[in-house]
Amino acid sequence: MGYAMRKGKKETVAKPKGGKCSQCKNEGLEFFDDGTGKCPNCSYTFLWNREIALKHKPSGGVCSKCKKHGLDFYNDGTGKCSNCGYTFPWRRDLHEKMRRESAGREAAPATAPAPPIQPPPAPPQHQPVTQPYAPPPVPIAPVQPQQMPHGQEVSHGARRKVLEKGHTHLIYEEIPDRVFSMFSLLISEEKLPAVIISTIFPAKIRKNYNFEGIDIIWLTETSIENERTMKPKRLDFEISKTLIEFMRADQECAILLEGLEYLIMENSFQTILKFVKKINDLASAHNATVVMPVNPRTTSEKELNMLKREFDRGW
């Protein structure tokens, strides 16, 4: 049995005795005391009691990036280092469930069963059969090319977002992964000089996203050999100066700045809003491409709307 706390007392919560897996439809699910479950057939994991799962939330730890104490763990299954701003999932199954619930899932329409295939009619027996019977050909309508909205393209029948050269982009993403892939595709296809400022360790970015030869600056309070670092509070003296000089030296360049939440925490939202406007205005004048991801779960709706007004694209 699992348990939950209610009004200062331990209250026993009965675990389900069985069920059917939503993935492989197999009977015989396993339910554990920490509020999770698993299908022994396809190894699919799930939450059967979120309240119990949250009671197993860690109380602290050491960051795998800066090796310092001060990790924060959130109820949506994610965590963040208060020193270097590194974000991570501490409970991936809980994080995925929260993400699916917030995004909403559309129910797949029920499809009617296909009618049984009828055998072709046999030719009359009084007529000699000189050739084997063949059903008449079915005409196939030609496929019309899809007209995609601005800023999207078709990829293997599915729509996906792409970055546009010469525009500023605000990308909503809890854990910056998709934005690095899109940025890599942009600079490789357009042959753009690029610079990246991120809270993630540069060697990890180069390894995971093939950014060899790209200048990557680590946004951190830590100093390290063989890597260029910048402190988040030196907004005007280092960060702004570096980006402005880069845009003035390389026309039509590309900039990826990851870590807006960290900069807001170390400075203030109004200071970062002025900084974003200054960088985007200069980017428009030099036809540069600017990409900044932001976590919508750690930023208020009002602040997100104010940030979005300073960008050409926001999604």
Instruction: State residue 96 phi and psi, 5-degree precision.
Output: -65, -40
pLDDT tops 50 at residue 302? yes
248 located within any domain: yes
The answer to whether 295 touches 173, Cβ cutoff 8 Å, is yes
Structure pTM?
Answer: 0.51
3 located within any domain: no
Residue 79 confidence class, pLDDT cut points 50, 70, 90? confident
Looking at the structure, tell me whether residues 188 and 69 fall in a common domain: no
Number of domains forming the structure of the chain? 3
195 located within any domain: yes
128 located within any domain: no
The half-sphere exposure of 226 on its side-chain side, counting CA atoms within 13 A, is 3
End-to-end, the C-alpha distance of the chain in Å comes to 43
**What's residue 236's pLDDT?**
84
Looking at the structure, tell me whether residues 306 and 182 fall in a common domain: yes
Give the mean model confidence (pLDDT) for residues 208-226. Answer: 90
Task: Say how far apart CA 25 and CA 32 lie, in whole Å.
Answer: 19
Residue 223 confidence class, pLDDT cut points 50, 70, 90? confident
pLDDT tops 70 at residue 112? no
Looking at the structure, tell me whether residues 184 and 268 fall in a common domain: yes
166 located within any domain: yes
Domain with 50, as residue range(s), is: 18-56
Residue 62 confidence class, pLDDT cut points 50, 70, 90? confident
Looking at the structure, tell me whether residues 93 and 52 fall in a common domain: no
Looking at the structure, tell me whether residues 166 and 79 fall in a common domain: no
Q: Which residue has the higher pLDDT, 304 or 105?
A: 304
**What's residue 52's pLDDT?**
66
Looking at the structure, tell me whether residues 168 and 298 fall in a common domain: yes
Looking at the structure, tell me whether residues 43 and 177 fall in a common domain: no
Selection from 45-59, 68-82, 89-103, 138-152 with the highest mean pLDDT? 68-82
Concatenated DSSP letters of the chain: -EEEEETTEEEEEPPP---B-TTT--B--EE-TTSEEE-TTT--EEES-HHHHHTT-----B-TTT--B-EEE-TTSEEEETTT--EEESSHHHHHHHHHHHH--PPPPPPPPPPPPPPPPPPPTTS---S---PPPPP-PPPPPP-PPTTEEEETTEEEE---TT-EEEEE-SSSSHHHHHHHHHHHHHT--EEEEESS-HHHHHHHHT-TT-EEEEESS---TTS-EE-TT-IIIIIIHHHHHHHHHSTT-EEEE--HHHHHHHS-HHHHHHHHHHHHHHHHHTT-EEEEEE-TTSS-HHHHHHHHTTSSEE-
Residue 233's domain is classified under what CATH number? Answer: 3.40.50.11570
107 located within any domain: no
Task: Say how far apart CA 4 and CA 31 lie, in whole Å.
Answer: 15
Looking at the structure, tell me whether residues 49 and 69 fall in a common domain: no
Looking at the structure, tell me whether residues 173 and 94 fall in a common domain: no
Name the residue among 15, 25, 72 with its Cα closest to residue 47: 15
48 located within any domain: yes
**What's residue 4's pLDDT?**
46
Q: Which residue has the higher pLDDT, 138 or 32?
A: 32
Q: How many degrees, rounded to 5, is the angle at CA 7 between CA 76 and CA 31?
A: 50
Looking at the structure, tell me whether residues 40 and 74 fall in a common domain: no
Looking at the structure, tell me whether residues 179 and 88 fall in a common domain: no
The answer to whether 275 touches 240, Cβ cutoff 8 Å, is yes
**What's residue 93's pLDDT?**
64
Q: How many degrees, rounded to 5, is the angle at CA 199 between CA 74 and CA 194?
A: 140
108 located within any domain: no
Looking at the structure, tell me whether residues 87 and 174 fall in a common domain: no
